Amino acid sequence: MSKATSNPRRGRAFLTVFLKEVKENLRDRRTLMSAFLTGPLLGPLLFVMLINVTLNRELEKAEKPLPVPVIGAEFAPNLLDALKAGGVVPGAAVADPEQTVRKQDADVVLRIAADYGKAWRKGEPVQVELFYDSSQRDANTSVERMTRLVEGYARQQGAMRLVARGMSPSTAWPLQVARRDQATPQSRAVLMFAMLPYFFVITIFMGGMYLAIDLTAGERERQSLEPLFANPVPRWKILCGKLAAICAFSAASLLITLLAFAVVGQFIPAEKIGMELDLGLHFATYVSLLMLPLVLLLAVLQSMVAAFAKSYREAQTYISLLMLVPIIPSLLLSFMPIKAQAWMYAVPLLGQNLGIMQLLRGDGVTGEQLGLCLAGSLAAALLAVLATVQLYRSEKLAISA
Amino acid sequence: MIEVRDLHKAFGTVKAVDGVSFIARDGEITGLLGPNGAGKTTTLRMLYTLMTPDRGQVLVDGIDAAVDPLGVRRQLGVLPDARGLYKRLTARENIDYFGRLHGLPEDLLASRREALVKALEMDDIADRRTEGFSQGQRVKTAIARALVHDPRNVILDEPTNGLDVMATRALRQFMARLKAEGRCVLFSSHIMQEVAALCDRIVVIAHGRVVADESPDALRAQTGAANLEDAFVKIIGTDEGLAA
């Protein structure tokens, strides 16, 4: 019988646990699918499809002939000619313009009053009506285009009247607004890609999810936690080995998804609408760096949540709820654009979100922002580790059923 | 040697273990007998430091469990009530995992593992993944991984639970062998025949207390009963929760 003396190999318990978890989970098809296939690839695929659909629709709208039902077309033939020159195809009059736009039969309806011709000839202001539904985002491009055409025609006619009266057209427009849009092709892209950081977070989440559930709930359900804890290894070492395995899987997921984004980024026709999208090596490097502490934080949070669950299924339920938390900063930033303050970079998830958006804008992240982001998230992750270690000391944790 | 002194453990208002003391000696098989719910598993859990006693002391080879729990666990081979295996690992890999957690060098681990595989007659299943193992195959694997570090003290919580006759016989022989090797074997059971057939010493537990701690013969003499079964019933006061 071997005398139990202190053994230097025991220090390798961490590595033993890590290697065993990795080996065991590499043999699980469900974990593999989630970590290396569906998790990291579904995002980029979905993304490129969505973006393509959106972009193509915008592009089509901008160039395509625009059918617009016109009521009272016969009263304003000149206006109609001008509209036709702008690509509008006047359609037959509809009886109820309000209903037509509300039911999305047409994006926009033009109504010309019967006294249009009379008033026009007298030189009095006349009114044309545009019916549209601004809650139909889809129709907005058409409405804007139609509005621009009508207003353009009005200005042009006004200028001609002034010239006819021997006045300079500038008399009527003492002020000229010159728009200087400072959006770069890259920053224009940001609006569309506000949800991109969430994809990365979800990928990390999916990559480690099954391992995290297995960590406690799974071990407890298959009754292997009690024998495991009977070994002469402190529980925190076992926990750390398992956390490392979760991190390895979720980090691998993140790398795969970054690679996938770099590839699919080539297929997004961003330049067609004057955007520039850089999802290449530089982007990927910075995103991995920003996300690194988040990998640990999410691994710990998942393990912590799973430790409260009595069974595998229960853990799955809790973790899917947890998955909704990271969406908050993404939603917040896309619905209420806030000006980023320095401290925000130190907030886990929010910091990463801001950083990635800045990378997309092409501004890059400063050393200070990067430092704050890493320090804030890492501090949160370490706190969570301590809390979970404490949780692991609980007697009840090991007891099955 | 395992020494237990006046252990107490309560869960809320339920006193699961209420003053248990006994000694399990080297080279002997000590049986912890008691009906279901008597506090056997809780007592054992305090022995292998999964739970901390509210009061009392556990000494394993002179090491105090409260002072050096890792040291105690090093001296113990434990087959807990929960004996789950890693189903995506083979039986050998399951054994290796625990051996490495004990810090065994690879060459020693390999020789210990193979010796156990042979002793437990599990050659045919050793390289199969444990998913789909029969109850007997599972227990064999769990015992092998519990003993891979060659512990002087062996704790088995209801080891024959769910085993068929053949597997039970094999396990009893194996326990006798552990005893012959000079180890301290402590096992719990609610099956009287088993305890009677195997034990050098029987500790009877009921309602969280030790109600008898004798050799089988002394137990018979003490109660004046002709056979052990009657002796147990007399000691515990009821035959509820016991199996013949």
Chain B contact probe: residue of A220, A226, A240, A392 with most B CBs at under 10 A:
A226
> Do the chains contact at A400 and B82, CB–CB below 8 Å?
yes
Contacts of A223 in chain B (CB under 8 A): 82-84
Average pLDDT over all residues of chain B: 90
Q: Complex ipTM, two decimals?
A: 0.92
Q: Residue A10 pLDDT > 60, yes or no?
A: no
Contacts of A29 in chain B (CB under 8 A): none
Q: Residue A6 pLDDT > 70, yes or no?
A: no
Predicted local distance difference test score (pLDDT) of residue B8: 95
Q: How far apart are the first and last CA of chain B?
A: 29
Q: What is the mean pLDDT of residues A342-369?
A: 86
Predicted local distance difference test score (pLDDT) of residue A4: 43
Lowest mean pLDDT among A36-40, A155-159, A329-333: A329-333
Q: Residue A35 pLDDT > 90, yes or no?
A: no
Cα gap B39→A78, rounded to integer Å: 99
Q: How far is CA A398 from CA A93, A96, A186, A231, B75, in A?
A: 76, 71, 52, 13, 20
Q: Residue A271 pLDDT > 80, yes or no?
A: no
Q: Residue A9 pLDDT > 70, yes or no?
A: no
Give chain A's contact residues with B (Cβ, < 8 Å): 1-2, 4, 7-13, 16-17, 20, 23-25, 27-28, 219, 222-234, 395, 398-400
- Bridge partners of A24, per DSSP, are none
Predicted local distance difference test score (pLDDT) of residue A188: 59
Q: How many C-beta neighbours within 10 Å does residue B34 have?
A: 28
Q: Tell whether B84 lies on the interface with A, counting CB pairs under 8 A.
A: yes
Predicted local distance difference test score (pLDDT) of residue B64: 96
Per the rule left: phi > 0, alpha: psi between -120 and 50, beta: everything else, A127 is beta
DSSP string, A62-113: HHS-EEEEEETGGG-HHHHHHHHHTTEEEE---S-HHHHHHTTS-S-EEEE-
Q: Which of A27, A230, A234 sits opposite B80 (nearest CB)?
A: A230
Predicted local distance difference test score (pLDDT) of residue A155: 87
Q: Which of B71, B73, B150 sits opposite A230 (nearest CB)?
A: B73
Q: Residue B178 pLDDT > 70, yes or no?
A: yes
Q: Residue A205 pLDDT > 50, yes or no?
A: yes
Instruction: Please give, rounded to a whole number of angstroms, the shortest distance from the CA of B221 to a CA of chain A.
Output: 37
pTM: 0.81
- Under a CB-based contact definition with an 8 Å cutoff, are residues A296 and A205 in contact? no
> Do the chains contact at B84 and A233, CB–CB below 8 Å?
no
Q: Which of A12, A223, A230 sits opposite B50 (nearest CB)?
A: A230
Q: Tell whether B150 lies on the interface with A, counting CB pairs under 8 A.
A: yes
Q: What is the mean pLDDT of residues A336-341?
A: 73
Q: Which of A8, A10, A223 sits opposite B84 (nearest CB)?
A: A223
Q: How many C-beta neighbours within 10 Å does residue A26 have?
A: 14
Residue of chain A whose alpha carbon sits nearest to that of B104: A9
Q: Residue A370 pLDDT > 50, yes or no?
A: yes
Residue B191, φ and ψ in degrees, nearest 5:
-105, 115
Structure-model confidence comparison of residues A265 and A219, the more confident one: A219
Predicted local distance difference test score (pLDDT) of residue B243: 63
Domain boundaries, chain B: 2-236
- Under a CB-based contact definition with an 8 Å cutoff, are residues A270 and A55 in contact? yes
Cα gap B232→B242, rounded to integer Å: 9
Lowest mean pLDDT among A134-143, B175-184, B218-227: B218-227
Contacts of A400 in chain B (CB under 8 A): 82, 84
Q: Which of B73, B89, B93 sits opposite A232 (nearest CB)?
A: B73
Predicted local distance difference test score (pLDDT) of residue A119: 86
Q: What is the mean pLDDT of residues B98-117?
A: 95
Chain A contact probe: residue of B102, B152, B184 with most A CBs at under 10 A:
B102
Predicted local distance difference test score (pLDDT) of residue B191: 83
Q: What is the mean pLDDT of residues A312-328?
A: 87
Cα gap A352→A22, rounded to integer Å: 27
Q: Tell whether B128 lies on the interface with A, counting CB pairs under 8 A.
A: no
Structure-model confidence comparison of residues B89 and A119, the more confident one: B89
Q: Residue A193 pLDDT > 80, yes or no?
A: no
Q: Residue B185 pLDDT > 90, yes or no?
A: yes
Residue of chain B whose alpha carbon sits nearest to that of A392: B50
Predicted local distance difference test score (pLDDT) of residue A3: 43
Three-class SS of residue A354?
helix
Residue B242 pLDDT class (50, 70, 90 cuts): low
Q: Tell whether B149 lies on the interface with A, counting CB pairs under 8 A.
A: yes
Q: Residue A195 pLDDT > 90, yes or no?
A: no
Residue A110, φ and ψ in degrees, nearest 5:
-105, 130
Cα gap B64→B71, rounded to integer Å: 9
Q: What is the mean pLDDT of residues B132-144?
A: 93
Average pLDDT over all residues of chain A: 84
Q: What is the mean pLDDT of residues A152-156?
A: 88
Q: What is the pLDDT of residues B143-174, one digit of tens each?
A: 999 999 999 999 999 998 888 888 888 899 99
Q: Residue B208 pLDDT > 50, yes or no?
A: yes
Number of alpha carbons in the 13 Å side-chain half-sphere of residue B218: 10
What domains sit in chain A, N to C, each tagged with a CATH number?
A: 12-55+187-398 (no CATH), 65-169 (3.40.190)
Predicted local distance difference test score (pLDDT) of residue B240: 63
Residue of chain A whose alpha carbon sits nearest to that of B145: A227
Contacts of A395 in chain B (CB under 8 A): 50-52
Work out the angle between the directed axes of helices B91-101 and A13-26 (0-180°, nearest 10): 160
> Do the chains contact at B84 and A1, CB–CB below 8 Å?
no
Q: What is the mean pLDDT of residues B197-221?
A: 87
Q: What is the mean pLDDT of residues B215-227?
A: 76
Predicted local distance difference test score (pLDDT) of residue A238: 93
Contacts of A2 in chain B (CB under 8 A): 108, 149-150
Structure-model confidence comparison of residues A53 and A131, the more confident one: A131
> Do the chains contact at A395 and B105, CB–CB below 8 Å?
no
- Under a CB-based contact definition with an 8 Å cutoff, are residues B214 and B202 in contact? yes
Predicted local distance difference test score (pLDDT) of residue B89: 95
Domain B2-236, classified CATH 3.40.50.300, yes or no: yes
Q: How far is CA A401 from CA A8, A221, A310, A392, A397, in A?
A: 35, 7, 7, 17, 10
Q: Tell whether B70 lies on the interface with A, counting CB pairs under 8 A.
A: yes
> Do the chains contact at B74 and A232, CB–CB below 8 Å?
yes
Q: Look up residue B155 and give its two tokens.
A: 């704790």
- Bridge partners of B55, per DSSP, are B8
Q: Look up residue B211 and give its two tokens.
A: 């109600």
Which of A60-64, B57-61, B80-84 is most confident? B57-61
Contacts of B79 in chain A (CB under 8 A): 227
